[in-house]
């Protein structure tokens, strides 16, 4: 089994994105938590969501 190494920032972003997917957070709230503008936050979420 391989080990996946992630930075604290990456782990935090993954948790935030899970909150958006689970409808616990809005995209605007997620962008603010990640320290991004709304447009950048939406682009980041779209890129990761596939």
| Whole-number pLDDT of residue 18 | 93
Residue 31 burial (CB count, 10 A) = 22
The answer for residues whose C-beta is within 8 angstroms of residue 24's C-beta and 6 or more apart is none
Give the tens place of pLDDT for each residue, 10-26: 999 999 999 999 999 99
What is the SS3 assignment for 50? coil
8 Å CB contact between 16 and 25: yes
The model's pTM: 0.77
């Amino acid at each position: 089994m391989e080990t996946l190494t992630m930075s604290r920032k990456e782990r935090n972003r993954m948790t935030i994105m899970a909150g958006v997917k689970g409808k616990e957070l809005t995209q605007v709230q997620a962008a603010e938590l990640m320290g991004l503008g709304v447009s950048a936050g939406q682009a980041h979420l779209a890129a990761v969501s596939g």
